[in-house]
């Protein structure tokens, strides 16, 4: 099935500018879908970033279509398709959550839901469920209810950290870190908070995989981090998102951004909302 013509992500959705991140010095392709877009890295066969506009007031509950498919705007060899996820414990992790762009008119919402099942919106993630995975997956809902001026409008940027030393499996290097930035309006101005999901294997998970098995991935651990830390890790130009960070600065200020991370064991641990 061909990817439909779509309006894509609206950077003015909040009434203040939230432009799509860019990746200077690296070849990327911007792929618009309904209410969201992905910034695709053909060399890694995965998205470097995604952006979705969420209108919480008109969200619709639709049956899951589950029709995973390639995007025919790209050669198949530039996408990580079904073969990556076959006969192993890797999940096809939605980057833009299935339910987030599903708003507006009935036909529009149905198209948006279907659009999220392009492999360009997926990344391999650990299949095992734990509390941190639940926290990570529920961040958008919590921000819709608790962040900004409570008009239930939210923009979310998400992506993997595509590191040079990510382990390779079936021709795709498997990311171990994922990031998410929520953007909202506070008193007429842009506010942001950033989060990092770490599935790097812990000491108990470091056994060598059998030949043909995917690399080991550890339990999910979710952190709130400075928005600037996401830029450090990914090389993305985050535009105005960094300066709008609502995460409080500790005293004294650590020398490195990497020292400023708050482990999230529940939504109550989130700072700056």
94 is catalytic: yes
Amino acid 138: pLDDT: 77
**Does position 214 have pLDDT exceeding 80, yes or no?**
no
pTM value is 0.88
Count of Cβ atoms closer than 10 Å to residue 113 Cβ: 21
Amino acid 210: pLDDT: 59
Amino acid 209: pLDDT: 58
Residue 121 annotated as part of some ligand binding site: no
pLDDT, mean of residues 14-28: 96
SS3 per residue for the chain:
CCCCCCCECCCCCCCCCCCCCECCCCCCEEEECECEEEEEECCCCEEEEEEEEEEHHHECCCCCCCCCECCCCCCHHHCCCHHHHCCCCEEEEECCCCCCCCECCHHHHHHHHHHCCEHHHEEEEECCCCHHHHHHHCHHHHHHHHCCCCCCEEEEEEEEECCCCCCEECCEECCCEEEEEEEEEECCEEEEEEEEEECCCCHHHCCCCCCCCCCCCCCCEEEEECHHHHHHHHCCECHHHCCCECCCCCCCCCCCHHHCCEECCCHHHCCCC
Which has the higher per-residue pLDDT, 272 or 254? Answer: 272
- Tens of pLDDT, residue by residue over 53-91, are 999 889 999 999 989 999 999 999 999 999 999 988 888
Choose the catalytic residue: 35, 40, 94, 118: 94
- Tens of pLDDT, residue by residue over 171-198, are 999 999 999 999 999 889 999 999 998 8
Taken in order of first residue, the domains within the chain and their CATH numbers are 29-269 (3.40.570.10)
């Amino acid at each position: 099935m061909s990817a439909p013509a779509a309006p894509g992500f609206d950077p003015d959705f909040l009434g203040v500018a939230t432009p799509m991140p860019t990746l200077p010095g690296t070849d990327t392709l911007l792929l618009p879908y309904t209410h969201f877009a992905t910034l695709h890295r053909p060399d890694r066969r995965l998205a470097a970033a995604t952006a979705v506009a969420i209108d919480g007031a008109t969200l619709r509950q639709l049956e899951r279509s589950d029709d995973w498919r390639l995007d025919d705007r790209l050669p198949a060899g530039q996408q990580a398709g079904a073969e990556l996820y076959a006969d192993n414990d890797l999940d096809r992790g939605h980057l833009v959550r299935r339910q987030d762009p599903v708003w507006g008119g009935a036909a529009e919402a149905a198209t948006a839901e279907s659009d999220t099942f392009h492999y360009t919106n997926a990344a391999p993630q650990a299949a095992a469920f734990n509390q941190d995975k639940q926290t990570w997956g529920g961040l958008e809902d919590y921000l819709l209810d608790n962040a900004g001026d409570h008009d239930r409008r939210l923009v979310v940027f998400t992506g993997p950290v595509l590191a040079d030393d990510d382990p390779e499996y079936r021709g795709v290097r498997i990311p171990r870190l994922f990031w998410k930035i929520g953007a909202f309006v506070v008193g007429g101005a842009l506010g942001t908070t950033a989060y990092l999901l770490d599935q790097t294997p812990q000491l108990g998970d470091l056994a060598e995989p059998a030949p043909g098995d995917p690399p080991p991935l550890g339990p999910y651990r979710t952190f709130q981090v400075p928005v600037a830390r996401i830029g450090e890790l990914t090389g993305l130009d985050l535009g105005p998102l960094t300066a709008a960070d609502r995460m409080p600065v500790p005293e004294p200020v650590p020398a490195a951004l990497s020292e400023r991370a708050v482990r999230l064991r529940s939504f109550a641990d989130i700072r700056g909302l």
